[in-house]
Structure 1
Amino acid sequence: MGWLFLKVLLAGMTFSGLLYPLLDLSISGKTRAPKPNIVIILADDMGWGDLGANWAETKDTTNLDKMASEGMRNPERDCYTDVALPLYENLNIVEQPVNLSGLARKYLEKAVAFIEQASTSGRPFLLYMGLAHMHVPLSVTPPLENPGSQRPYRASLQEMDSLVGQIKDKVDHMAKENTLLWITGDNGPWAQKCELAGSVGPFFGLWQTHQGGSSAKQTTWEGGHRVPALAYWPGRVPANATSTALLSMLDIFPTAIALAGASLPPNRNFDGLDVSEVLFGRSQVGHRVLFHPNSGAAGEYGGLQTVRLDHHKAFYITGGAKACDGSTGPEQLHASPLIFNLEDDAAEAAPLQRGSPEYQAVLPKVTRVLADVLQDIADDNSSRADYSQDPSVTPCCSPSQIACRCQTV
Structure 2
Amino acid sequence: MNDNVNHASMLVCLESKSAIAMVLRVPFLMWLFATCFFSGGVWAVDKPNVIVIMADDLGYGDLSCFGNKVFDTPNLDKMAAEGLRFTDFHSSGPVCSPTRAGLLTGRYQQRSGIPGVIYAAFDSNRHHGLYPAEITFPELIKGAGYQTGMFGKWHLGYKKKFNPTLHGFQTFRGYVSGNIDYHSHYDRMGVLDWWNGGQVEDEKGYTTSLITEHALAFVKKNKSNPFCLYLAYEAPHDPYQGPNDPAIRVQGKVVPNKYAEGQIPRAYREMVQTMDTGIGKILELLKTEELDRKTFVFFLSDNGANKNGRNGDLRGFKGSLWEGGHRVPAIAWWPTEIPPNCVCDDLTMSLDIMPTLLELTGAVVPDGHRLDGVSLGPALLGGVMPDRKRKLFWAYGSKRSMRHGPWKLLSDQRVGGDPQLFLLSEDISEQRSLYNTHRLRAKRMLSELKAWHAEVLIGATSQPSDP
TM-score after normalising by structure 1: 0.70
Asked if structure 2 preserves the Cα contact closer than 8 Å seen for 1:72 and 1:237, the reply is yes
Separation in 1, partners of 2:324, 2:281: 29
Which of 428, 444, 448 is residue 369 of structure 1 equivalent to?
A: 448
Tell me the SS of whatever aligns to 1:132: coil
Separation in 1, partners of 2:264, 2:322: 31
Asked if structure 1 preserves the Cα contact closer than 8 Å seen for 2:54 and 2:302, the reply is yes
Establish whether residue 168 from structure 1 lines up as the match of residue 276 from structure 2.
no
Higher RCO structure (Cα 8 Å, ≥6 apart):
2
The code of the aligned residue for 1:126 comes to C
Which of 384, 395, 415 is residue 332 of structure 1 equivalent to?
A: 415
Separation in 2, partners of 1:245, 1:37: 25
Give 1:254's aligned residue.
Answer: 355
Deviation at 1:158, TM superposition (A): 1.0
Asked if structure 2 preserves the Cα contact closer than 8 Å seen for 1:190 and 1:217, the reply is yes
Establish whether residue 102 from structure 1 lines up as the match of residue 206 from structure 2.
yes
Establish whether residue 201 from structure 1 lines up as the match of residue 312 from structure 2.
yes
Give 2:79's aligned residue.
Answer: 67
The code of the aligned residue for 2:373 comes to G
Tell me the SS of whatever aligns to 1:272: coil
Give 1:27's aligned residue.
Answer: none
Tell me the SS of whatever aligns to 2:50: strand
Tell me the SS of whatever aligns to 1:39: strand
Which of 376, 401, 406 is residue 306 of structure 1 equivalent to?
A: 401
Deviation at 1:245, TM superposition (A): 1.4
Which of 371, 374, 378 is residue 270 of structure 1 equivalent to?
A: 371
Separation in 2, partners of 1:148, 1:360: 48
Q: Deviations over 1:297-346 (max 9, x none)?
A: xx2xxxx721111111111118xxxxxxxxxxxx6344x31101111111
Separation in 2, partners of 1:231, 1:184: 9
Establish whether residue 141 from structure 1 lines up as the match of residue 243 from structure 2.
yes
Which of 284, 290, 299 is residue 183 of structure 1 equivalent to?
A: 299
Distance 1:69 1:289, change over 3 A: same
Q: Deviations over 1:163-211 (max 9, x none)?
A: 11111111222201110011101011122xxxxx21111102xxxxxxx
The code of the aligned residue for 1:259 comes to L
Asked if structure 1 preserves the Cα contact closer than 8 Å seen for 2:241 and 2:268, the reply is no
TM-score after normalising by structure 2: 0.62
Tell me the SS of whatever aligns to 2:300: strand
Separation in 2, partners of 1:249, 1:389: 28
Establish whether residue 54 from structure 1 lines up as the match of residue 66 from structure 2.
yes
The code of the aligned residue for 1:332 comes to V
Deviation at 1:360, TM superposition (A): 3.1
Separation in 2, partners of 1:219, 1:92: 35
Establish whether residue 117 from structure 1 lines up as the match of residue 228 from structure 2.
no
Separation in 1, partners of 2:405, 2:270: 37
Asked if structure 2 preserves the Cα contact closer than 8 Å seen for 1:39 and 1:128, the reply is yes
The code of the aligned residue for 2:402 comes to V
Deviation at 1:111, TM superposition (A): 0.7
Asked if structure 1 preserves the Cα contact closer than 8 Å seen for 2:206 and 2:243, the reply is no
Give 1:217's aligned residue.
Answer: 318
Tell me the SS of whatever aligns to 2:375: coil
Distance 1:33 1:364, change over 3 A: same
The code of the aligned residue for 1:190 comes to N
Matches within 5 A, 1:318-329: none
Asked if structure 2 preserves the Cα contact closer than 8 Å seen for 1:246 and 1:285, the reply is no
Distance 1:341 1:90, change over 3 A: farther
Deviation at 1:285, TM superposition (A): 3.4
The code of the aligned residue for 1:261 comes to G
Asked if structure 1 preserves the Cα contact closer than 8 Å seen for 2:240 and 2:264, the reply is no
Separation in 2, partners of 1:138, 1:387: 32
Separation in 2, partners of 1:47, 1:90: 30
Deviation at 1:292, TM superposition (A): 1.2
Give 1:315's aligned residue.
Answer: 410
Deviation at 1:244, TM superposition (A): 0.9
Matches within 5 A, 1:31-42: 34-42=46-54
Q: Deviations over 1:90-141 (max 9, x none)?
A: 434332xx75x5222211211111111111x3x2100101111111354333
Distance 1:150 1:248, change over 3 A: closer
Give 2:167's aligned residue.
Answer: none
Give 2:432's aligned residue.
Answer: 350
Asked if structure 2 preserves the Cα contact closer than 8 Å seen for 1:289 and 1:308, the reply is yes
Establish whether residue 44 from structure 1 lines up as the match of residue 86 from structure 2.
no
Give 2:346's aligned residue.
Answer: 245
Q: Structure 2: where are the runs of 5+ without partners?
A: 1-43, 94-98, 100-178, 181-185, 188-192, 246-261
Q: Structure 1: where are the runs of 5+ without partners?
A: 1-31, 192-196, 205-214, 319-330, 392-409
The code of the aligned residue for 1:161 comes to D
Separation in 2, partners of 1:230, 1:365: 33
